[in-house]
Amino acid sequence: MMVLREAGIVIGMALLLSLIVKTWLMQAFYIPSESMENTLLKGDRVIVSKLTPSHIDLKRGDIIVFEDPDHWLPPTAPIERSPFAGALHSTLTFVGLLPSDEGNHLIKRVIGLPGDHVVCCDARQKLTVNQLPLNEPYLFPGDVPSQQSFDITVPVGRVWVMGDHRSNSADSRPHDEGSGGAKGTVPESLIVGRAITVVWPLQHWVWLTNPGETFDKVPAAPAR
């Protein structure tokens, strides 16, 4: 009985620690689509740091996970599981031992911060942020920065996001509906955190570093 009690205490403490980590520090997420190829592949599992943007400032180029702002995602059919398997899966996901696959989160790259003027495209077919053309090495091979033209200013408290696979990403562009950034941007309050590493499958393991060379010279947002 003593062994069982000690095992129960250890398991309980491990679950509690995992829940604390998931709630305030890090959480695992499942990549459900091809919109971030080839940076992220469908089926990858990523770890997201919840310290951004609450404690660490968000940067242009960061890859973020955020809650669906306004029906960006189509309805998904629930996965059929037995009652026991469903309860076990929900419990392990709740405490952070399984990645979230609820179907109500998206993952994209931050292109524009509050106040930024983002335009596609200039005469050389480059995306510009505050009039600086961007060289985007992370784009899916063969993709152009955008097949859809836009000229937006990011509202206060929101960010403009785009997938790396621009020809296969339902991101800020199609959801803006010509509003100049009012509808297609994502409220910072819906950002779960910044993706920092791919952890599964093992052969895809990589740190998701910020492409600073793309955004370092972007000037500050123009005064409004």
Task: Kindly calculate the radius of gyration of the chain based on its CA atoms and give it in whole angstroms.
Answer: 19
> Choosing from 33, 35, 100, 146, which is the catalytic residue?
35
Catalytic residue check, 108 = yes
Cβ atoms of 133 and 126 closer than 8 Å: yes
Residue with tokens 């620690």: 17
Q: Is beta strand 132-133 parallel, antiparallel or unpaired with respect to 45-49?
A: unpaired
Which letter, b or e, does each residue of 122-134 get, where b requires 16 or more Cβ atoms within 10 Å of its Cβ? eeeebbbbbeebb
> Choosing from 33, 49, 108, 146, which is the catalytic residue?
108
Cβ atoms of 133 and 4 closer than 8 Å: no
Catalytic residue check, 169 = no
Catalytic residue positions? Answer: 35, 108
